[in-house]
Amino acid sequence: MTRSKLAYGLAPLAWLAVGGAGPVTACSSGSDAHPPLISSGGSASSDAGSVGTGGRKIPVGTDGGSSGLGGSEAGAAGEAGEAGRPDRGADGGAAGAAGGQEQGTVVPVTPSVCSETAVWAGAAPVDAVSTDADESLLSITPDELDIVFMRLGAPFWAHRDTPSDTFGMATAVTLPAGYVASAGAALSSDGMTLVLISSNGGSFGALSRTSRTLDFGPNADTTAFVGLNQRAAQTLERYAAPVLSADGKSFVFSSFRTDAGNISVVYQALWTAPRWAMPSSISHGLFDGTGDKRPLPTGLSSDSRTLFYFDEATSKEMARFRERPDAPLYDVIDLGDRAGAIPNSTCQRIYYTNSGNVLTDAD
């Protein structure tokens, strides 16, 4: 079987599926003494806490640590619930309240859905998706019922009624003129929307359908991406690797500028109906790349506290963790050659690409 190569955007390098897959554990490194970087607006899954590393306890002092703002300002923010900042939500208010407590107070941190000590093993091909042809994963819904993947360079979709069923017959996605799937694609959690990127990498568009068992429509709707697309035209940025959060409130993607040192960053935009707001960098100073060695988002946990991405610089899949959806992604583990990893809603299973196959592992 040939090796899978999923090209992203304008760069010649590919998201490579290399080597074999086996049990993986990794040590993370990070610190609890960093200020928040962005607000993501993600919400915790009902399954959150079923898998995790145990409740981490963070001392709260005047500097606030990673629990949020510090001092009197944080206390006011907590009491007000971050009034005027709906993107912060309960997490922002709680963080502010924590930061305003007396020095030495210990605030327990709820375990995230995804565990930093997960042992991924039992690699198995996804039936009816992995064949003798060359395939690579693009996106799968958190409930594991809808999947989009590349087969011999063309995008396909498939559906099943339960996660234990075999996927039905794969159907080709009809790509609108000027759009490609080789730059990445993102399914909404209900399987009804598919986000694509234009062939020049400068704009997003979305296909929709009226049922999870029907084809996507042939026309790309850019309404939700007007601001992001205008931004790309003004800054000469090129987009790749879109990922939608499970709750539909945040949108993560890779971007690099063709006129500014070739730096590649990972952005996150929040949903402010009827469109996505201007994005904030979640990789700056942490895991930025270059135009030909990018960090390419592949999946986001259902509580928005774990980001999976493929690192073109090392040709490895990585997972980064944070204490809250609005905290920095400091802690990182290496998932090896599980390219394009995407977790299910409980993060007890991941789907990924390896050597031209779409596989799944369990923790």
Strand 193-198, strand 179-180: pairing = antiparallel
Residue 7: per-residue pLDDT = 38
Residue 109 binned pLDDT confidence (cut-offs 50, 70, 90): confident
Residue 107: per-residue pLDDT = 62
pLDDT (tens digit per residue) in 277-292: 999 999 998 999 998 8
Asked whether the beta carbons of 305 and 323 are under 8 A apart, the reply is yes
Residue 45: per-residue pLDDT = 34
CATH 2.40.360 fits 5-28+115-362, yes or no: no
Asked whether the beta carbons of 327 and 135 are under 8 A apart, the reply is no
Sign of the C-alpha dihedral computed for residues 181, 300, 335 and 285 taken in this order? positive
What burial class does residue 49 get, using C-beta atoms within 10 Å of its C-beta: 0-12 exposed, 13-18 middle, 19+ buried?
middle
The mean pLDDT value of the chain amounts to: 79
pLDDT at residue 64 is higher than 60: no
**Per-residue burial over 50-59, b = 16 or more CB atoms within 10 Å of its CB, e = otherwise:** ebbbeeeebe
Average pLDDT over residues 66-91: 34
pTM of the model: 0.75
Question: What is the C-alpha separation between 282 and 132, in angstroms, rounded?
Answer: 38
Strand 263-272, strand 237-244: pairing = unpaired
Residue 110: per-residue pLDDT = 85
In this structure, what token pair is assigned to residue 309?
Answer: 């991405």
Q: Which residue has the higher pLDDT, 33 or 347?
A: 347
Q: What is the DSSP string of 44-62?
A: --TTTTSSSS--EEEEE-T
Lowest mean pLDDT among 31-35, 162-166, 241-245, 359-363: 31-35
Residue 103: per-residue pLDDT = 66
Domain ranges of the chain: 5-28+115-362, 57-109
pLDDT at residue 294 is higher than 50: yes
In this structure, what token pair is assigned to residue 354?
Answer: 């390896």
Task: Report the percentage of the chain scoring pLDDT > 90.
Answer: 66
Q: Which residue has the higher pLDDT, 253 or 95?
A: 253
Task: Report the percentage of the chain scoring pLDDT > 70.
Answer: 70
In this structure, what token pair is assigned to residue 54?
Answer: 């145990």
Residue 258: per-residue pLDDT = 78
